[in-house]
Amino acid sequence: MRLKIHQLLVFAILISPLPVQSQQTAFSMLLNGSTDINAICENNAGNFIAAGYVFSGTQSNATVMEISPGGSILQQNVFGSSASELPYSIVQAAAGYYIVTGSIYDNFNDYDWFIAKLDSALQLVWFKRLGAVSGNDYANSCFEVSPDHFVVTGTVGLSGSAKPSTVMIDSSGAVLHEGYLNTNQFASPNYRGRYIGNGEVAFANLATAMAVMDTSGALIKQTSFNFATYTRDIQPTSNGGYAICGVGGYGSPQGSSIAFAITDSMLTTTTLLKKFNQNGFDLSVVGMEVDWAGNYILAVNAMGLSSGNTAPLVVKIDGAGNLSSSRSYLPLGIQNTMINSMIETTDGGYLIAGGTGTTGFIAKIDSASSCFYSPFSLSTNTLSSLGATPHSPFSGSISTINPQVNSIASGTLSPNYLCNPNYIAEPESGFDIQIYPTLTSSVLNISISDAKGENFQIEVINHIGELVMSKLIINPTTLDVSSLKQGLYICRFTEVSNGQISIVRFVKTE
């Protein structure tokens, strides 16, 4: 069997069985164009929806695209107006349409909410601009809490200060309920809630560790303590409590840390307080997911205090609060990349998205970490909690501002694949090859069963399908790969005497 290099387009990475619905996929790509991806979700077809903005030089417009599990862009659209739009959240309704929320502004002194409805083909159905008459407003997250009913959370500027806000809308965008909290802290554009079920929304980024509101906007309960400079995300625990993550020691000359705590169901007692840090880095938590085994998966941006460059981290903490792993997914050859959003996917993997400062970044991570990563060392220490003044409800109202009809056009972003092992075809094995170690920084040992002394052509192909090495070998032998860059590689062996082909994989480490 013969296989040309340009035919190396699809292959599936085999992994250990997991209790998931389908085989995992992996890819990593940049989006060609001036863009940033702020929000992602998985739709009912198993594809991924990414929302962000494209910058034209004078303004930003919202872009939304659908991506296959293997990383192909299936459809994309851009919608916008004479103002600038910045999407922060996207959710698919059970009925199949999408709700996108974010901020819209004509100048940097007056941001308002935008809420848009798109059909399943990503076409604009309606667009609304909401907010306070003056002040800055940010619609940071959105969840469908019952069929055709959505809770939008974020920041609304009322009575001269920023208020954490919970607003329920229906599928037409009509406001059904709204609720706000007074704060005694710095005004934050980043107030956000997570819907945790049972009609409850858990709020982070407060002066207290967290607060719980119902979907009508009423305050149910809150902590009277904090353990971080500010919290970022909340997940319910299996025993009815809450896991909370945030940023500790913000502004410290040694750098900020990841703060992590678990509380009881009444928010009165912390059963676990940990921090994770590396001197010389500001660690900023973006979000948190919980995997099928009860581990907490954190998306973190690690900014070097001396370099100013940022690396996207995925950090795993087990249910007892122990650090399991910390990995950087900074693309090879790129100095700066930030995560803006992370979700767990139905195949048991994770999707992260953000940008490099000039272009969008999206990576699908499988449990085998098939796409390149590098370890990121963290130290573990114990945290202590401090008293904090609880928040009180605030009575206010959000308004419709300057209704406008927005235009929509086909998007033009194209992927630049950094890693796409799912798109390399693997033929059936013609003979049994052993290579070891499969993780190596220098030399591969090669042994082919029942073919001692036979000649083989070996071709080494990198993660984007480029031929990087070709050599005639005599079995058994060794192969020096020390000159290769870090990453996943494919070795294609062709038996010279009969043309039979087999393929194996290895990872080049530093």
pLDDT 10s digits, 255-282? 999 999 999 999 999 999 999 999 999 9
Mean pLDDT of 426-442: 69
**How confident is the model at residue 431, as a pLDDT?**
67
CA distances 18 to 71, 317, 323, 349, 459, Å, are 21, 19, 21, 10, 32
SS3 98: strand
Residue type, 169: I
Distance (Å, whole) CA 158 – CA 155 = 9
CA distances 463 to 48, 422, 491, 508, Å, are 22, 10, 11, 11
> What is the band of 1 on the pLDDT scale with cuts at 50, 70, 90?
very low
232 pLDDT above the threshold of 60: yes
Token pair 């007692």 in the structure block, residue: 269
Helices and strands (H and E) in the chain: how many? 0, 44
Q: Do 125 and 118 touch, CB atoms closer than 8 A?
A: yes
Which stretch of DSSP H or E encloses residue 326? strand 323-328
> What is the band of 463 on the pLDDT scale with cuts at 50, 70, 90?
low
Domains in the chain with CATH codes: 430-508 (2.60.40.1930)
Distance (Å, whole) CA 358 – CA 200 = 38
- The number of residues in the chain equals 510
> What is the band of 421 on the pLDDT scale with cuts at 50, 70, 90?
low
Mean pLDDT of 309-328: 95
Distance (Å, whole) CA 244 – CA 227 = 10
**How confident is the model at residue 430, as a pLDDT?**
58
Task: Look over the chain and give the mean of its residue pLDDT values, rounded to a whole number.
Answer: 87
In eight-state DSSP terms, residue 456 is E
427 pLDDT above the threshold of 60: no
CA distances 302 to 20, 140, 287, 320, 328, Å, are 30, 22, 14, 24, 9
For residue 5, report the phi and psi dihedrals to the nearest 5 degrees.
-60, -40
17 pLDDT above the threshold of 50: no
